[in-house]
C-alpha cells in the first residue's frame, strides 16, 4: 500500500471568519476542503492563525480589568491559549461532523494546546512592531504604558495601539505528543495562532508578550513531522510578482532559488505574502522531496493534484 502524503495545512484568517457567528459558518466550509484532502488519501495536520480571535479575547479581558480593579491584566500568552481552545473547539467539531457525513468514522479529531519556545535574545524583542488590540487615545495609551508596561505606537492617524514582538519559532514544546497523535492516525489541530510564545527559564516555561507568525510556526511543525507538503492558504489562488499592476505575473512553479531571487527583489509585501513565501522556501529547502504550496482554501485539493497554486520546491 502506498504511503499517504503527510500534509501540514496553515489556515489563514479568511478560513475562520472574524466573529463568533462568522467562525461557526466558516469552519464548515473549511472542514469540507480539509476532508477533501483526506479523501484524496492524504494525512492532514491543521495549523491556523488567530488574528481576529486573539484581538477579541485581548479586548474583552482588557475591558474586564478596567471595570474591576481586582482583576489583573491577562497576559497575551494566556489570550493566545484561549484562542487556540476556542478555535479548536469549533474546528474539531466541524471536521468530525464532515468526516461522519462522508461515513469516515475511524479518524479521531483532537486539538493540541501548543506552546512554542522563542529565543529571549531574538532581535524582534528589541523592536516590537506587531500591532494588537484596540485603538486608544493618546491619554489611554500613556495610561496603558504606565499601568501595564505596554509599548504603544501611533497607527496611521487612527490612534494608538499596543505593539509586541514577532520572534521566530525555535521549538514546539508539545511536538512529541503531536507526533504520537498524528502517527496513530488522528487528525490533529496544533500550533494555533503561531503557538503560545514561551521562553525557557530552567525547567519553567514563561509566557512572552509576543505573536509568532503562523506561517513560520506551520513550517517548523511540517519539518518536525517530516511532512511531504506544507500548504499555506491565503486570499489569492497564486503568489505573484508585480501584484496589482497591469503586467502582473502569476507564479505556478518555482524553485527555491527562483523564489529567493524574487524575495531579494522585493516582490512580496511584508506582513502579507512575504512571510508566506519565506516559510514556503524554508520548508521546501529543508529536505529533498518536500514541496510547499500557496493557494486558496477551496483550491487546496487541486493544488495537491498539481492543477493550481504556487508550488515551491528544490
The catalytic residue positions are 13-14, 130, 214, 276
Q: How many CB atoms lie within 10 A of CB 243?
A: 15
Torsion of CA 298, 258, 194, 41, to 10 degrees: 40
The CB-side HSE value for 104 (13 A sphere, CA atoms) comes to 20
Grid coordinates representing 244 are: 496589482
Q: What per-residue string of b and e applies to 164-191 under the rule 16 or more CB within 10 Å gives b?
A: bbbbebeebbbbeebbebbeeebbbbbb
List of residues 6+ apart from 291 with CB closer than 8 A: 228, 229, 230, 284, 311, 312, 313
Grid coordinates representing 48 are: 491556523
At which residue does the C-alpha cell 502524503 appear?
Answer: 5
Give ∠ CA 269-256-166 in degrees, rounded to 5.
45
- Torsion angles phi and psi, residue 246, rounded to 5: -60, -30
Spatial separation of the C-alpha atoms in residues 89 and 174, rounded to whole Å: 19
Amino acid at each position: 500500500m502506498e504511503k499517504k502524503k503527510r500534509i501540514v495545512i496553515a489556515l489563514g484568517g479568511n478560513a475562520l471568519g472574524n466573529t463568533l457567528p462568522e467562525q461557526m459558518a466558516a469552519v464548515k466550509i473549511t472542514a469540507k476542503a480539509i476532508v477533501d484532502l483526506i479523501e484524496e488519501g492524504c494525512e492532514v495536520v491543521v495549523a491556523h492563525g488567530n488574528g481576529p480571535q486573539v484581538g477579541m479575547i485581548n479586548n474583552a479581558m482588557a475591558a474586564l480589568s478596567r471595570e474591576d480593579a481586582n482583576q489583573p491584566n491577562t497576559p497575551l500568552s494566556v489570550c493566545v491559549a484561549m484562542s487556540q481552545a476556542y478555535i479548536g473547539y469549533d474546528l474539531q467539531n466541524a471536521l468530525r461532523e464532515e468526516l461522519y457525513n462522508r461515513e469516515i468514522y475511524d479518524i479521531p479529531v483532537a486539538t493540541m494546546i501548543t506552546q512554542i519556545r522563542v529565543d529571549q535574545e531574538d532581535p524582534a524583542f528589541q523592536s516590537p512592531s506587531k500591532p494588537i488590540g484596540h485603538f486608544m487615545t493618546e491619554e489611554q495609551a500613556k495610561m496603558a504604558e504606565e499601568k501595564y508596561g505596554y509599548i504603544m505606537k501611533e497607527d496611521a492617524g487612527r490612534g494608538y495601539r499596543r505593539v509586541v514582538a514577532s520572534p521566530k519559532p525555535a521549538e514546539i514544546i508539545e511536538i512529541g505528543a503531536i507526533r504520537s497523535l498524528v502517527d496513530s492516525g488522528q487528525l490533529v489541530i496544533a500550533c494555533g495562532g503561531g503557538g503560545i510564545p514561551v521562553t525557557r527559564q530552567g525547567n519553567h516555561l514563561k509566557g512572552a508578550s509576543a505573536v509568532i507568525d503562523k506561517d513560520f510556526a506551520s513550517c517548523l511543525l511540517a519539518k518536525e513531522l517530516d511532512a511531504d507538503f506544507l500548504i499555506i492558504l491565503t486570499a489569492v489562488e497564486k503568489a505573484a510578482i508585480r501584484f496589482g499592476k497591469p503586467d502582473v505575473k502569476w507564479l505556478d512553479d518555482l524553485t527555491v532559488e527562483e523564489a529567493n531571487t524574487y524575495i531579494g527583489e522585493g516582490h512580496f509585501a511584508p506582513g502579507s505574502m512575504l512571510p508566506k513565501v519565506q516559510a514556503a522556501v524554508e520548508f521546501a529547502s529543508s529536505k529533498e522531496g518536500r514541496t510547499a504550496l500557496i493557494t486558496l482554501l477551496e483550491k487546496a485539493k487541486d493544488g495537491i493534484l498539481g492543477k493550481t497554486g504556487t508550488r515551491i520546491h528544490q
